[in-house]
Amino acid sequence: MTIQTGEKLPETTLVKMTQNGPEQVKSSEYFAGRKVALFSVPGAFTPTCSAKHLPGYVDKAAELKAKGIDEIACTAVNDAFVLGAWAKQGEATDSVTMLADGNGALVESMGLTMDGTAFGMGQRGQRFSMVVNDGVVEQLFVEAPGEFRVSSAEHMLENL
């Protein structure tokens, strides 16, 4: 069952890349006490994710923060090293925190997985965005398969 607005994010362990290497973070601790714009991509370095999704959040970071977002985070079923390299390539290291969901535990626990085996990608996270306020899903935007609209930074800004 897909997570709904008003529900608390499930407890999982994510990994973020730091200057000292990968660091495990518990979702309950990471999202506690702040408002986070979280977006999910099927994979780092994939065409739509690299050309539109990540750049949109980098470009709109100041506007999102001006509307009350404390932090912008991206998750993908990739490892922290891949997400760290993607953040550098996408010039996102100062504006977007990468949260690796390498085993897909977060997206699976939220009911937001997609089957990418036909593309050689295995199980991945769907393309979505959400506003998480103190660990609770305040807004949720899940894309239809093959689309990129409601999970964009622009759509999130319109709905804040």
* 74 noted as active-site residue: no
Strands 97-100 and 71-76: parallel
- DSSP code string of 28-53: HHHSTTSEEEEEE-S-TT-HHIIIII
Distance CA 66, CA 121 (A): 36
Q: What totals of helices (H) and strands (E) does the chain contain, helices first?
A: 7, 9
Catalytic residue among 15, 38, 49, 54: 49
Distance CA 126, CA 62 (A): 26
The region that residue 47 occupies, defined by phi over 0 for left and psi between -120 and 50 for alpha, beta otherwise, is alpha
Active site residue ranges = 49
